[in-house]
Structure 1
Amino acid sequence: MNELLIYILPGAAVLAGCLFYVRRKRTRRHSENVISMNAVSKKRNKKGQACSKCKQRGDLIFYANDAGIVRGLCKDCRKKAEVHEELYPV
């Protein structure tokens, strides 16, 4: 009986230590995947997004054409595109 305790107790202690180490490592990795939204909004360009056609940055209005392709167009490009194709607001 004593020999059984001599082998089982240290084995159980090693197993418990391994489980503790793995769980701690997993939670640490999960916390690295979480980012603050404040950092993302500061990095975002304040000038707006680039137009799909002329690539100028500014306020865009998003449209889809007959094929379902969504494009962000500025006011000038929108007027030109309305003449040539049917645009649907998204």
Structure 2
Amino acid sequence: MQSNPLQRIREWNSERQELPGERQTRQQLQQLREWDAQRPNIPGEHWLMLAAGIGTWIATRQSASFAVRLGGSILGSMMVVRAATGRKGLGEYRWLPLSK
């Protein structure tokens, strides 16, 4: 019987060695998430993120560098998703394939 791909990834994650500094990075990211969850909302925060995402797309689309265009597309997309979903992110939308 073939195992679920997600199950294979979890098994691999449990067996792999931790990289130097990985634990510290995870702790810092967790502290940043906690700070973000505790702070009050900024009025118009979603509109600002939407404008920043679209601005990033527009600013980087004319670049000759593929890396700049790709990075701008990824960063702009992340900002637009943040604007659309709020601070909780995609985790609260269970119907999406990449949600937790």
Q: Which protein has the bigger strand share?
A: 1
Which structure: greater helix fraction?
2
User: What range describes the TM-score normalised by the shorter chain of this pair?
Assistant: under 0.3
- Greater Cα radius of gyration, structure 1 or 2: 1
Taking structure 1 as the reference length, the TM-score comes to: 0.25
